[in-house]
Every structure is written in structure tokens, then in C-alpha cells.
Amino acid sequence: MSRPTDFARRWFLARGWKPFAFQKEVWAAVKNGESGLLHASTGSGKTYAVW
């Protein structure tokens, strides 16, 4: 079974997008069972970091 981070990376690649560093950091934190607050400016890709 694929990990959620693998799915997210494939999803980005399929659209020709490259995830920002903060998005990859959030994916790693979620994978590790961490919780927290994501603070980033409007339009920066928060939704794609935590969906």
C-alpha cells in the first residue's frame, strides 16, 4: 500500500507541479503522527500541504 506522502508526490507530478519545502515538511510531520498549526500566506499552498 502506498504511503500518503507517495500519493501526494505523484499527484503533484501528474500536474507538473513541484511541492514547496513547507508542504514536504508538513507531509513528513503528518506521516509521523504530529499535530500542529500551519501558518503561511494566502495562496501559498496550505490546502495541498494538509489535505
HSE of 45, CA atoms in CB hemisphere, 13 A: 15
pLDDT tens track for 1-51: 566 678 888 899 999 999 999 998 998 898 899 998 999 899 998 888 887
Query: According to the model, what pLDDT value does residue 1 have?
Result: 53
Q: Is the dihedral of CA 46, 17, 43, 20 positive or negative?
A: positive
For 1-51, where are the alpha helices, taking DSSP H only?
4-14, 21-31, 46-50
**pTM for the whole thing?**
0.76
Extents of the domains making up the chain: 1-31
